[in-house]
Amino acid sequence: MTPLTLVVVSRNYFNMPAWLGLHAGSFASEGIALTIDHIEGIEEVNERLRSGQAQLAYGVTEHVILDAEAGGHQAIIGGNVNRLPFSLIARPGIEGLKGLRGKRIGVSSLHAGSSSLIMRLLAGEGLNWPGDYDLVPCGPILARWDLLRSGGIDAGLQGAPLNHIALDQGFVSLCEPRQNFQFTSLNVDTRWAEAHRDPLLRFLRGFLRAHEHFCSDRNLARDVAMKESGIEPHYADRAWDEYTRDDIFPRDGEASEAGVQALIEASALIRNLPTRARTHAADYIDRRWLAEARASL
C-alpha cells in the first residue's frame, strides 16, 4: 500500500467524496492507504500542500490562483465544491443584506475563501469593506457556527446541512448563493505530481469512483456523513438531496471552468494583484491527470 495524505478544511460536508471513498474502499482497492487530515485553518491547509506535508488538498481554490500569481506550483486537478452551497445565516432580527451595515460577519480568512464571496455579495448592495461592516477571520464553517450561536458574530456563510440546522434553531437566511463558483477543489503541487505519476493516478481512480458512489448511493452517503460529522440522519439526507440536485459535487470529478472563471473575476475585483499573469480559468486547471485516470478505469 502506498501512503498518501489528503489535507482538508475542517470536518464538514465538503469532504464527503473523500470520506465516502475511504469508507467504501475506493482508494484501498487502488493500493492507496489514504490519510485525511482535518485542519481548521484554510491557510494551514494550503501551507501543508506547499511544504509537502500533504500530497493533495481539498483546498480553497482562490489559494491556487494566488499561489500561481506569486510564481508557485499549485494546480487544480479535480473538482470539489463546484457550485455555491451556502446560505448567509444571520441572527434573528437582521433583515436583508443591507441589515448587515455595521455588523460583524464571520469569514474563514481575510486573505482568501469566504471573504471574497462576502465582499462581492455585499458590494452589490452598496456595502463595502472595511467601512460598512467588519469581517471577523474565525475559520471555516464549524467555527463560524460556534461564534454565531455564542454571539461573537452577527452573520456568516453556512453550507448544508448546517444552514438547515441553523434555520431550524431560529436563525435567518439573508440570501442563498447557488451560482457556479469554484469554492474548493482538489489541488496538488505539480512538481510532486510529475514525480509521483503512478500513485497520483491510482488515487484519482479512487477519487472518480468515490464521486460516482456519492451521487448514486444516498444510503451510503447518509451513513458516512453521520459517522464522520455526527449529524442526524434527516440532515444528512437533506444535504445529499441539495448537493446532488444542484450538482455541487461534480459526478465526473472535474473542476468547473465556469466556476473558476467566476472566482477569478471576484478575486480580481477584491485582491490587489497588479502583476496578474493569468486571466482564464483553463490556465489554472490541469485536466490531464483525471483524463488519464478515467481512461485507465
Q: What is the pLDDT of residues 258-277, one digit of tens each?
A: 999 988 887 765 665 545 55
Shared-domain flag, residues 169 and 270: no
**Count of structural domains, the chain:** 2
Boundary (domain end) residue, out of 177, 204, 223: 177
Shared-domain flag, residues 167 and 259: no
Question: Environment class of residue 187 by beta-carbon count within 10 Å: exposed (0-12), middle (13-18) or buried (19+)?
Answer: buried
- Residue 190's pLDDT is 97
Shared-domain flag, residues 71 and 199: yes
Boundary (domain end) residue, out of 128, 151, 177: 177
Q: Report, as an integer, the average pLDDT of 276-295.
A: 87
CA distances from 160 to 76, 86, 102, 258 (A): 24, 7, 27, 22
Q: What is the pLDDT of residues 1-46, one digit of tens each?
A: 999 999 999 899 999 999 999 999 999 999 999 999 999 888 899 9
Shared-domain flag, residues 80 and 223: yes
Cell of 291: 483524463
| Residues 161, 35: Cα–Cα separation, whole Å | 24
Shared-domain flag, residues 263 and 164: no
A 10 A CB-CB count for 174 gives 19
Q: Report, as an integer, the average pLDDT of 119-123.
A: 89
- Residue 243's pLDDT is 95
Shared-domain flag, residues 69 and 204: yes
Adjacency order of strands within the sheet including 134-137: 134-137, 104-107, 155-159, 86-90, 172-173
Q: Provide the residue range defining the domain that includes 248.
A: 2-84+181-295
- Residue 31's pLDDT is 98
| Residues 288, 292: Cα–Cα separation, whole Å | 6
| Residues 111, 79: Cα–Cα separation, whole Å | 21
Tell me, what CATH number does 120's domain have?
3.40.190.10
Q: What is the pLDDT of residues 134-186, one digit of tens each?
A: 999 987 888 889 999 999 999 999 988 999 999 999 999 999 988 899 999 99
This prediction's pTM: 0.90
Angle at 243 between CA 265 and CA 238, to 5 degrees: 135
Shared-domain flag, residues 255 and 186: yes
Shared-domain flag, residues 261 and 143: no
The number of CA neighbours under 13 Å toward the Cβ of 119 is 22
Q: Which amino acid, 216?
A: S
CA distances from 179 to 11, 81, 115, 124, 259 (A): 24, 11, 16, 15, 8
Shared-domain flag, residues 9 and 141: no
Q: What is the pLDDT of residues 65-108, one digit of tens each?
A: 888 888 899 999 999 999 999 999 999 999 999 999 999 999 98
Shared-domain flag, residues 70 and 189: yes
Contact 163, 12 (CB under 8 A): no
| Residues 45, 80: Cα–Cα separation, whole Å | 15
Shared-domain flag, residues 122 and 109: yes
Q: What is the pLDDT of residues 238-263, one digit of tens each?
A: 999 999 999 999 999 999 999 999 88
Shared-domain flag, residues 158 and 192: no
Confidence band, pLDDT 50/70/90 cuts, at residue 278:
low
| Residues 188, 284: Cα–Cα separation, whole Å | 11
Confidence band, pLDDT 50/70/90 cuts, at residue 111:
confident
Taking the mean position of all CA atoms in its chain, how far away is CA 150? Answer: 25
Q: What is the pLDDT of residues 188-214, one digit of tens each?
A: 999 999 999 999 999 999 999 999 999
- Residue 272's pLDDT is 57
Boundary (domain end) residue, out of 177, 207, 232: 177
Contact 99, 127 (CB under 8 A): no
